[in-house]
Amino acid sequence: MNFLYVADPLEHFKTYKDTTFAMMREAQRRGHRVAACEPRDLHWRSGGVVEAHAREIELTGREPDWFVQTAAPTVALKSFDAVLMRKDPPFDAEYVYATHLLEQAEREGARVFNKPRALRDHPEKLAIMEWPQFTAPTLVTRSDDDIRRFHAEHRDIILKPLDGMGGMGIFRVGPDGLNLGSIIETLNKGGAQTVMIQRYLPEIVEGDKRVLVIGGEPVPYCLARVPQGNDIRGNLAAGAKGVARPLTDSDRHTAEAIGKALAPRGLLLIGLDIIGTHVTEINVTSPTCFQEITQQTGCDVSALYQDALEAVLGVS
């Protein structure tokens, strides 16, 4: 089979931890062909089909030259057996435009994972609104007054932008309210931008758990991102330590409930962020942590993903 990965530049991959790289490696190990492009390489012209300036590659198993490019064709997306959208956030206008091109490719016959419409319909922070039974007290607003009332009620809160990633722009405000006004001004831009506010969860000291769900089924292990030092952020990009752990019964129940609902919508792979027993985000764009979980537990997450992908594609 022939797979196209729409991702960030290959030259920027940190292969020791990159999940898209792990997917490619498993696909090649099974004898599939691998190609890659960036969203900027997608194009459409009236009277034609969605195409990509793609890079056909072979993985070498060596560092730093982990791949060799064997060809660079311009090819219709519908000619691939599967197109995997793995572009990292931010979920900005260009990302949305890319999903529209991918959705047009679907109309032409391409198989795209995760489904472009589902990516647009489930922004990673706002997707939790569908699952209030699994979330901590949360507020989504532009209003200064609403934020201040939420702080007065809960006393210890987390504020974050809706388009952040890797822990960027996350603030904690305790009972003293120190710097709350300045933080609100920074995040909501004078009421021009919407902000998410959540009650602070002290269980964060045990880690922000990334629970992967593939084809509606939870992976048996999660990766707890444990904040280090005086940092409150459970993000690997912010210096948190990743510790793989078996799922708790609560984690599994939550992941099964959400996964069973989202998989039929075209979300083959999702990543839940769970602090304690509360879901704080539902990651759908390019969920990560495959390699960390595999290295620490021996559970081959890439193989689980490839199995699910091939099952959807009808590979026996």
Show which residues are catalytic: 125, 160, 210, 225, 233, 273, 281, 283
> What is the three-class DSSP state of 310?
helix
Distances, alpha carbon 209 to alpha carbons 29, 240, 301, 305, in Å: 29, 11, 16, 19
How many residues in the chain?
Answer: 316
First CA to last CA across the chain, in angstroms? 12
Strand 82-85 versus strand 2-6 pairing type: parallel
Query: In this structure, what are the phi and psi dihedrals at residue 70, rounded to the nearest 5 degrees?
Result: -100, -20
d(CA 290, CA 286): 11
Neighbours of 47 (CB within 10 A): 5
Q: Is 120 helix (H, G, I), strand (E, B) or coil?
A: helix
Any idea what the Cα angle at residue 212 is, between residues 209 and 216, rounded to 5°? 135
